[in-house]
Amino acid sequence: MTHRPLGAFQVSPIGLGCMNLSHAYGAPPSAEQARALLQQALDEGYTLFDTAALYGFGANELLVGPSLKPFRQRITLCSKGGMAGMTGADGQTTRVIDGRPEALRRNCEDSLRRLGTDVIDLYYLHRWDKRVPIEESVGEMSRLVAEGKVRALGLSEVSATTLRRAHAVHPIAALQSEYSLWTRNPEIAVLQTCRELGVAFVAFSPVARGFLGSLTDVSKLDAKDIRRSMPRFAPVHYAANLGLLAPVQALAAELGCTVAQVALAWLLHQGKHIIPIPGTTHPQHLSDNLAASRIALSEAHLACLAAAINQHTVQGTRYNSATQAEIDTEEFGAAT
């Protein structure tokens, strides 16, 4: 298995996104099942593990940190701040984006405690708080590096312009954003900017939040599943999008693999600086995902996939208008 560079680290070509062990996609697995999955990931060769203060409002870090602590020297541990839970007077916890220096420092110190570690290998700004200049947020994060609490810095869901501004303050090791056959926005500018600056591109939701996996009936999604608020998962759009899968299914059959594996292999072929981090709660999917790094695609395969599913063929936007306003990524059809 050929590892890929992420800042000063060499990591497995596919990492594990840990969010859905605690958060966002309906009822999570039991703690026992989640710990078993993390152990399986270690046994199979995953070395990149991605969590955040937001996931389960701290629950994910409390799960991931202790589970991985005995193997801490073997892995690259990533977490995120700047978007976390805040409990109000009514006892309800809500999501808050806050990129002020004092908030980022508090988020980082809370994450260190939950993870049970002295240092976070890669610490991301989960969302750019547009009320705070990116230079101020990254400046405080750079002080966390200087103090030995963090080894490297990352950004999530930002544009090429914002990446360049941040990188001028402190080297950015990784930029994380959604990228898959059906979410091609990084191709507008930020993928190339990452290449130019030597920044790893960490692709979340690389199997399109299940679209390129086994999700066929969106009516069965849990009432609290975040996909229910995403326009392209609306029944009318999703039914049309399912019609795009036939060429991908045919190629998967030809290669003797799953559609999800084809999707991950396609991503890996887009550049050596790209590292997908699919999440899963299924042991077989965990094995399949890492095995996708061994699938070779020809130029004809890549062209077929790119033509079948892209920004012109997919129906529905990836986020609703409220969520879209919170991010800084380039969008097709918008000034960039």
Which residues are part of the catalytic machinery? 55
d(CA 17, CA 7): 18
State CA 271 to chain mean position distance.
17
d(CA 276, CA 292): 11
> In what helix (H) or strand (E) does residue 276 lie, and over which residues does it extend?
strand 274-276
Structure tokens at 319: 């986020």
The Cα-based distances of 167 to 13, 27, 172, 201, 330 in angstroms read 24, 38, 5, 14, 18
Residues 6+ apart with CB under 8 A from 160: 189, 190, 192, 193, 330
Alpha helical stretches, state H, the chain = 31-44, 59-68, 101-115, 134-146, 160-169, 190-197, 235-242, 246-255, 259-268, 283-291, 299-308, 321-324
